[in-house]
Amino acid sequence: MAKSETYTKIHKQLEDFLSTYDPPIQPVAVMTTICSLIKTNFPSFVFVGFYISRKVAGRDLLEIGPYQGTILACARIEYQNGVCGAAATAKTTQIVNDVCTFDNYIACDQETKSEIVVPLIRDNQVVAVLDIDSDQKDYFTEEDQVYLEKLLEFL
């Protein structure tokens, strides 16, 4: 199945699932469901998770939220560090085709070869970032970016 078909299937599953709840379910439940659907449908992903923005001692941090994967996530990431921090700082999606070439990369495992991080922005503030790691170099493209940004609209 092509990526676009897989993302469309995920979007439809999420839309159908969420439409059955009135009032709507909490954002953390939506995040958990998004992680589950993405991880289940993309076997080359070793990590799919959200980092939630938080201020700690006056510093902007990303703290681990719902995730699925074969690796233990970093508990906190400062805005300036790693791909997640870069996405939070720039407020734009970051695609890294080879994590070994990314300055300031935070290596949590040996499996990750490429990464995409999509910020969730509300009122011009980063609320969270969606972090996805693949075991393949050059995996992520603008196609992934478009579909993942669309999935985050559920939040």
Mind giving me the DSSP string for 84-127? HHHHHHHTS-EEES-GGGSTT---S-SS--EEEEEEEEETTEEE
Work out the average pLDDT over 121-149. 95
Work out the average pLDDT over 96-118. 78
**What pLDDT is attached to residue 110?**
74
pLDDT of residue 78 exceeding 80, the answer is yes
**What pLDDT is attached to residue 101?**
80
Q: Tell me if the pTM is above 0.85.
A: yes
> Is residue 78 within 8 Å of residue 86, measured between CB atoms?
no
**What pLDDT is attached to residue 105?**
61
Residue 102's pLDDT band, with cuts at 50, 70 and 90, is low
pLDDT of residue 140 exceeding 90, the answer is yes
The superfamily (CATH) of domain 3-152 is GAF domain (3.30.450.40)
Where along the chain do its domains lie? 3-152
Chain segment 21-55, per-residue pLDDT in tens: 989 899 999 999 999 999 999 999 999 999 999 98
